[in-house]
Structure 1
Amino acid sequence: MNNSNKMFFFFFLIFSTLISISSNSWFGCWIGLEINLLSFIPLISNSNNLFSSEASLKYFLTQSIASVNFLFSIILKMILFKTFEMNNFISIMINSSLLMKMGSTPFHFWFPNIIEGLSWFNCFILMTWQKISPMILLSYYINKNFLFIMMILNTIIGSIGGLNQTSLRKLMAFSSINNLGWMLASILISENLWMFYLIMYSFLISMMCFSFYMLNLFFINQMFIINMNSMIKISLFINFLSLGGLPPFIGFFPKWIVINFLIMNKIFLLTFIFIFMSLIMLFFYIRIIYSTFMFNYFKLKWIKIYINNNLFYFINFFSLISFMGMIFNTFYFF
């Protein structure tokens, strides 16, 4: 972040999201999304990864298609918003283009491919900050039936897509797609709940991305042979389970509130699918952790890692907060 170019584009990335969500016209929202796209591309292509230029081109193409679709829809809305049928069609068009910007199903195919070519910091931005403006714009013009289908598809594809992945970045991408289904449910309930869910999810994803960045991990098999400190292993274990939404941990808390609201509104099928798909997510998280713990005997002297970095104390501290989640959860009842 010492690079002044990076700082400039990073500032514009944040600024453009604020333009989108505080705009009072659809056209202003579209301009904000465009600035957001053009400020994120230099951040991608600036990294030293071999796939970064390919990723930036793919990102530009998909986001441009979504932007054109969005602009076309809002112009169509200005001209033909008289009839109900047309209004319904335009709402689906606008929702689709915003879902495409987020990397939601069925427009999700670009998302894991692009994440594979990014650094961990850029992965974190794409999985958290880049979802804010499309999600808030989506809340302005919701087509409820369409979004229910999208929620179900997101949770199913996010959980099943991660089963056969060996890359940790792709695994995080499918985890993000799964959590997007939960976020769509939370934004239908209330914007405050969605904000709380996003903050919790960002907190957990930042812990994961930061840990992987510090250890220079990109694939699951690296976790088998790496000679990690037991504290690092335990903190990864806690954060993975919290991200999966296991009850004692803090990641379960926002999911619990969403489930509560869905049951109160008698949406039982969606609740069942959400819970069932969370179990599949937990299965492949536990598979990674189990392998990391079990393969401890395979010690290679030349791959021993010494991390003399105080930042790992922060990770352990935040993991403790994640572990204390049940105490925060019980406050919800009082």
Structure 2
Amino acid sequence: MFKNMTNLLFLTITILSVMIVLNSNNWISMWMGLEMNLMAFIPLISKSNNHLMAESNMMYFLMQSMGSLILLITVMSNNMLMMINITVNNYLNMILLMSLAIKLGMPPFHFWFPEMMSKMNWYKCYILMTWQKVAPMTIMSMIYMEKLMLLLILMSVMVGAIGGLNQTSMRKIMAYSSINHSGWMMSCMYMHNNSWLLYMVLYSIMLLPIITWMTMYNMYMLNQMKIMTNTIMDKLNMSVMFMSLGGLPPFMGFFPKWMVIQYMIDLKMYHILLIMVMFSLLTLFYYMRMISPLLMINFTINKWLIKFNSPKLMSTIMFMVNMSMPLLMYINLY
């Protein structure tokens, strides 16, 4: 009972700290919200008393503390310099953007992110991939540096696509997928609008059933995919969810990417868009590598490995949600 109450307390603080950042009108209160978020999330993920969890806690604490420290020093420097010129201001904005990239686990500061993901359970990974990114991204959307943002976008899309190709750990694959999606979200910020929030919401909705499925079947490695999914409906659901996450039409995951593509075409950013779409195809390749054994191999499994606890309602909801893309297109057209 006490353990559950402490978990609830830390989860509440994690949610409220992000709300503080979203509603702040000065840098210090934003920094305070980020620090509260860090201090609440560490006890939340350190429930298991094993060395892997302790390692991931320390990794998260060091990287987030370094990002927060750089952010605070930059903000204080900006206040102390009375007569500030444009060049100094640009440098300070650049450092500020880099500190937020460290906190988000965006390239070239991404090395801690997949490593930390590989040491946690799926639901904690889900919080790290979605909710923990909201606060730094909100602050990032207030800073505009054209060339540096373009560099971060391209690096995120490239590293997220290439990094996941050689992985066998499902959690590391999902971490690199998250880095790739972060690049797409950042491209929304580059275009001066808050559509990255819509992208984040849709990404979170698409990711939740996958995480639930992985937790239910206790999947952590790539070779477990063909062992654990046994019914045709399981295979179909898994395939639809991963293709949706890869942004393949007519599934729901194509909608946020289509939105970004439309914005970038309007701004005539064809070269950047081409690079982003091509690397998005690479992410789709490693999703297809996960689901191809399910679709192509009709194998036999031992009876004691079969689980009959597949939730029918959840399967139906997931299938309907991911197939809702044609409906969204219809609403958009009329």
> Would the TM-score normalized by the shorter structure come out above 0.5?
yes
Does 2:279 match 1:277? yes
Q: Distance in 1 between matches of 2:160 and 2:274?
A: 16
Partner of 2:159: 157
Report how many residues are paired. 332
The gaps in structure 2 that reach 5 residues or longer are none
- Alignment partner of 1:293 out of 292, 295, 308: 295
Residues 301-325 of structure 1, C-alpha deviations (whole Å, 9 max, x = no match): 2212221x64x52243122221121
What displacement does 1:98 show? 0.7
Distance in 1 (alpha carbons) for counterparts of 2:50 and 2:294: 26
Equivalent in the alignment of 1:120: 122
Aligned to 1:187: 189
TM-score relative to the length of structure 1: 0.95
1:328 corresponds to which residue?
Answer: 328
Q: Higher mean Cα deviation, 323-332 or 207-216? A: 323-332
For 1:240-274, what per-residue CA distance to the aligned partner results, in whole angstroms no more than 9, with x for missing partners?
00000001011101111111110110111110011
Superposed, which structure 2 residues align to 1:144-293 within 5 Å?
144-293=146-295
Amino acid at match of 1:198: M
Tell me how far apart the structure 2 counterparts of residues 223 and 40 of structure 1 sit (CA, whole Å).
30
| In 1, Cα distance between equivalents of 2:330 and 2:57 | 44
CA root-mean-square deviation: 1.6
Where 1:3 maps in the other structure, the secondary structure is: helix
Q: How does 1:40-55 map to 2 (within 5 A)?
A: 40-47=41-48, 51-55=52-56
Task: Render the CA deviation track for 1:166-212: whole Å, top value 9, x for unaligned.
Answer: 01110000000000000001122354311110110000111111110
Q: 1:212 to 1:50 in 2, by over 3 A?
A: farther
SS in 1 for 2:141: helix
Residues 200-253 of structure 1, C-alpha deviations (whole Å, 9 max, x = no match): 000011111111011111111111222522212111110100000001011101
CA contact (8 A) 1:227 1:303 kept: no
What is the CA-CA distance between 1:332 and the residue it aligns to?
1.6
Distance in 2 (CA, whole Å) between partners of 1:127 and 1:230 is 29
Structure 2: distance between partners of 1:130 and 1:33: 10
Partner of 1:92: 94
Does the 8 A contact of 2:229 with 2:235 survive in 1? no
C-alpha contact 1:211 1:315 (8 A) present in aligned 2: no
Partner deviation per Cα, 1:47-81 (whole Å, 9 max, x = no partner): 46652111111100111111111111111111236
